Amino acid sequence: MTRKLSFIRLLVAVAALCTMLFFGVPVFADQANGSSTENTQTGTSQDEKKDQTGTTSTTDNNTTTTDSSSSSTATTDTNSKTGGDWMQDTNGWWYKYKNGSYANGWAEIEGDWYYFGSNGYMKTGWIDAGGTWYYLESSGKMATGWTKDGKDWYYMDKNGIMKTGWMQENGKWYYFESNGKMKTGWLDCGSNEYYYFFEDGSMAEAGWLNRDGYWYYVEDSGAMKIGWMQEGNTWYLFQTSGVMAMNKWASYGGYWYYFDGSGAMQTGTITVDGITYNLGESGGISDPAAQVANAYSSATNYLILVNRSTHTVNIFQGSQGNWSTIKSFSCTDGVSTPNGTFTLGSHTYHFGEEKGYTCWYATQITGEILFHSVLYYPNTFNLQDGRLGITASHGCIRLALEDAKYIYEQIPSGTKVVIYQ
């Protein structure tokens, strides 16, 4: 009798072991990283597994998975599997069907799509399936619609595919970069074609646009305006940057125009910085500096004008009332640069080495105020500070090396220099 009881106990133990092996965790579920280690932890059914809703998602486990063998669109598992349970162990979640098999690849579960790796575990975050990108929420659900990952917004279509390029929704246009991120700020499409997108991603609509204190105009297409625009009887000029010209001279089509503080182009006789100009009915003149020059005489047949507002040096040849522009180039002046009328003086080949730089081809304007080259490292022609078109010097007029050399070699002492602003 004792032997019979022992034999029965042995049969019960064997049956229990077989049951655990059959219904426990599958071997592949423990091989996410190629490991063949046996998993001895039994999966736990989780009927309460999160059922998140809505179209906005954030990544708890920001995972990127590449699976080139998967279809680019979600399809129902081809095996006839209906119903099952979510299972979890320390490695993650998987889905066990009632017939004992496990979800693998794309699977539709209770109306939502999930993706399971070749090891059977549910994926989250970004996945690249056959060259198509999808996003899986922290619950594992495939995202559709507007989706946020970190600080960036994306849009996933009804099939879960990440959107790129242009998209229209509720009458508004949006743009998604090649990586799927929603565009904000300026979009450069090349060939001077720019669009602006607000912080919510919507494209600026037709009309006036002020950004960071600068005025732009958006056309009906959404593209930023460049060139002339007439509104009523007023003309405005939008420069190549798209910024409307205001309180300045601007050149367009070979002519110069002046625009007041509202951006309106001026015509007729105007006075700017104490200097009177005749702009005529069209508003355009070939050279505003020439009108300034004709008011001055010079002891030589040369005249130099320095406009601190435009950071420009103009050199003329001729005589009072009949000056012709022969050179025009950019310069850098300083807050201590004096305005007034001066006479070109002595020449110095170079200076400044004791201060840690060299300036070449210096020509005296007045006192220690000189025309000279931009800054180079001592006794070299290796550029140290080549900035032009700004206010940055201690008072001298900095020029490109070849321009400083031209004044140094070609313009005689005694030539009148007019500095104005």
Residues 260 and 282 in one domain: yes
Neighbours of 326 (CB within 10 A): 13
Specify the CATH number for the domain of residue 360.
Answer: 2.40.440.10
Integer CA distances (angstroms), 206 to 172, 200, 203, 217, 254, in order: 12, 17, 10, 7, 29
Residues 364 and 316 in one domain: yes
Per the CB < 8 A criterion, the answer to whether 140 and 123 are in contact is yes
The whole-angstrom separation of Cα 307 and Cα 333 is 9
The model's pLDDT over 164-203, given as tens digits with 9 standing for 90+, comes to: 999 999 999 999 999 999 999 999 999 889 999 999 999 9
Q: What is the pLDDT of residue 130?
A: 84
Q: What is the pLDDT of residue 289?
A: 84
Residues 390 and 347 in one domain: yes
* Domain contains 341: yes
Q: What is the pLDDT of residue 356?
A: 96
State both tokens at 408. Answer: 């140094």
Residues 416 and 301 in one domain: yes
Nearest to 370 by CA among 390, 391, 349, 388: 349
The whole-angstrom separation of Cα 20 and Cα 77 is 27
Q: What is the pLDDT of residue 82?
A: 62
Mean pLDDT, the chain, whole residue set:
84
Per the CB < 8 A criterion, the answer to whether 225 and 216 are in contact is yes
Which amino acid is located at 325 in the chain? T
The whole-angstrom separation of Cα 285 and Cα 254 is 9
**3-state SS, residue 23:** helix
Mean pLDDT of the 318-327 span: 93
Q: Residue 7's pLDDT band (boundaries 50, 70, 90)?
A: low
Mean pLDDT of the 251-260 span: 90
Residues 331 and 371 in one domain: yes
Residues 256 and 308 in one domain: no
* Domain contains 9: no
Q: Residue 305's pLDDT band (boundaries 50, 70, 90)?
A: very high
Residues 192 and 280 in one domain: yes
For the four alpha carbons of 377, 383, 385 and 390, in that order, the dihedral sign comes to: positive
Give the domain-ending residue among 264, 286, 308.
Answer: 286
Q: What is the pLDDT of residue 79?
A: 43
Contacts of 392 (CB under 8 A, 6+ apart): 332, 334, 385, 398
Q: What is the pLDDT of residue 113?
A: 97
Lowest-confidence region among 12-16, 277-281, 297-301, 393-397: 12-16
Q: What is the pLDDT of residue 16?
A: 46
Three-class secondary structure assignment of 323-370? CEEEEEEECEEECCCCCEEEECCCEEEEECHHHCCEEEEEEEEECCEE
Per the CB < 8 A criterion, the answer to whether 375 and 358 are in contact is yes
State both tokens at 292. Answer: 């300034």
State both tokens at 287. Answer: 């050279």
Give the domain-ending residue among 268, 286, 304.
Answer: 286
Integer CA distances (angstroms), 107 to 32, 96, 238, 266, 364, in order: 18, 11, 55, 69, 82
Alpha carbon dihedral 108, 110, 111, 116, in 10-degree steps, equals -30
- Give the single-character DSSP code of 182: B
Q: Of all residues in the chain, what percent carry a pLDDT higher than 70? A: 81
pLDDT exceeds 70 at position 27? no
* Domain contains 21: no
Three-class secondary structure assignment of 177-224? CCCCCECCEEEECCCCCEEEECCCCCECCCEEEEECCEEEEECCCCCE
Type and span of the H or E element at 94: strand 92-97
Give the burial string for 106-116 (b: 16+ CB within 10 Å, else e).
bbebeebbbbb
How is 143-160 classified by DSSP, letter by letter? P-EEEEETTEEEEE-TT-
State both tokens at 180. Answer: 């799927």
Using DSSP, how many helices (H) and how many strands (E) does the chain show?
A: 3, 35
- When comparing pLDDT for 221 and 40, which is higher? 221
Residues 310 and 354 in one domain: yes
Nearest to 72 by CA among 147, 127, 149, 120: 127
- When comparing pLDDT for 281 and 7, which is higher? 281
Strands 152-156 and 105-109: unpaired
Residues 274 and 251 in one domain: yes
* Domain contains 50: no
pLDDT exceeds 60 at position 81? no
Q: What is the pLDDT of residue 275?
A: 80
The model's pLDDT over 87-146, given as tens digits with 9 standing for 90+, comes to: 999 999 999 999 999 999 999 999 999 999 999 999 999 999 888 999 999 999 999 999
pLDDT exceeds 50 at position 337? yes
What domain range includes position 365?
296-420
State the total domains in the chain: 3
The whole-angstrom separation of Cα 98 and Cα 76 is 17
**3-state SS, residue 219:** coil
pLDDT exceeds 70 at position 331? yes
Specify the CATH number for the domain of residue 103.
Answer: 2.10.270.10
Residues 317 and 397 in one domain: yes
Residues 332 and 405 in one domain: yes
